[in-house]
Amino acid sequence: MKFLSAVWCDLLLANYEVDPGVLQPFVPARTSLDDFEGRHYVSLVAFRFEKTSVVGVPALFHRRFEEANLRFYVKPDRDPSLRAVTFIKEIVPSRIIPLVANNLFDENYVRLPMSHGVDEQSCWYAWGDQQSQHF
């Protein structure tokens, strides 16, 4: 049985080339930085979780919410043909998600107020006290 299931809606993804030295302090043990044609990237991803369930049970009070995360890509040393994602920071509007995810799964969640907007021509996300950080 899956631990977590959800539908991702209104996904925004921005990839930025970065110096690998910037990412090196965040590389988990027994992995190495992944690259694409010799370049290293960090991704800013924002989306809405919908229909969220934990071990098949609808997540009470957490069925739908925004998330934004900053991530990069690594390869396990045991099998460099595999690819994985490492999260530098994950932002959600809930207090319980960081509490559970950070303590049980060693994640990097923080709670910040969030909002989003979607229409026929655009999609945006905002987070922080002033919610001035639009993406």
- DSSP-derived 3-state class of residue 98: helix
Rounded distance between C-alpha atoms, residue 107 and residue 40, angstroms? 22
Average pLDDT over residues 41-66: 77
Give CA 8 to chain center in angstroms: 12
Predicted TM-score (pTM) of the model is 0.81
**pLDDT: is 102 or 54 the higher one?**
102
Any idea how long the chain is? Answer: 135
Strand extents, DSSP E, the chain: 4-18, 31-33, 40-54, 57-58, 65-76, 84-92, 109-111, 114-118, 123-127
Residue whose pair of structure tokens reads 């302090």 in the numeric block: 25
Residue 126: pLDDT above 70? yes
| 59-118 confidence digits (pLDDT tens) | 666 667 889 999 999 999 999 899 999 999 999 998 888 998 899 888 899 999 999 998
- Up-side HSE of residue 10: CA atoms within 13 Å toward CB? 22
**pLDDT: is 27 or 129 the higher one?**
27
Q: Could you tell me whether strands 65-76 and 4-18 are parallel, antiparallel, or unpaired per DSSP bridges?
A: unpaired
Q: Could you tell me whether strands 40-54 and 57-58 are parallel, antiparallel, or unpaired per DSSP bridges?
A: antiparallel
DSSP 27: P
